[in-house]
Amino acid sequence: MIAIYPGSFDPITLGHLDIIERGQKLFDCVIVAVLCNTNKKPLFSVEKRLEQIRQCTQHLTNVKVDSFTGLTVDYAKLHKAGVLLRGLRVLSDFEKELQMAHTNKTLSGKIETVFLATTTEYSFLSSSTVKEIAQFGGEISHLVPKNVAKDLCLYYSKSH
């Protein structure tokens, strides 16, 4: 079974990586799919995010990294995936995630959404929190992969 793990990943955090590592044990292949057509204004370009994710998942042989535009279910169908993988952190995620899962189910009845509960130590973690901490020079090495921490430090040192 192929699973798609869709998201913005701006940038990937250790919470995302935890979901990828646990997900690849459950599925034959996990495709980490970075959404291009988001309304959010991303900090990192899609190319940079792909590079960041590839670097920190290179030890996982059944993980592929790609970008997509349009609907997640269409991308899933294109890749013959049966599952959309998502992490659930706290109760506040639940409403949005459930809405997305139901919407995707109406768009394609054959594709299931599977949620993994985020590991406790990352349950508070989000890409936006990490960016805020990095912006003010706070410690982020325990929150994101090394290569991402480097990219964030570089970005904010150039006085953005």
* Range in contact with ligand PNS (rule: CB under 6 A) among 59-67, 99-107, 131-139, 143-151: 99-107
Among 29, 88, 100, 116, binds ligand PNS (CB under 6 A): 100
Closest Cα to residue 67, out of 5, 146, 126, 155? 5
Does the protein bind ligand PNS through residue 6 (CB under 6 A)?
yes
C-beta of residue 36 within 8 angstroms of C-beta of residue 68: yes
The CA–CA distances, whole Å, from 143 to 12, 99, 118 equal 10, 27, 13
Does the protein bind ligand PNS through residue 116 (CB under 6 A)?
no
Does the protein bind ligand PNS through residue 11 (CB under 6 A)?
no
Kindly report the CA angle at 128 between 10 and 64, in degrees rounded to 5? 25
Strands laid side by side in the 2-7 sheet: 63-68, 29-35, 2-7, 83-88, 112-117
Q: Which residue is nearest to ligand PNS (CB)?
A: 7
In angstroms, give the least distance from the CB of 158 to ligand PNS: 25
Does the protein bind ligand PNS through residue 23 (CB under 6 A)?
no
C-beta of residue 79 within 8 angstroms of C-beta of residue 4: yes
Among 45, 103, 128, 135, binds ligand PNS (CB under 6 A): 103
Tell me the catalytic residues: 16, 40, 89, 127
| Interface ranges with ligand PNS (CB under 6 A) | 6-8, 35, 71-72, 100, 103-104
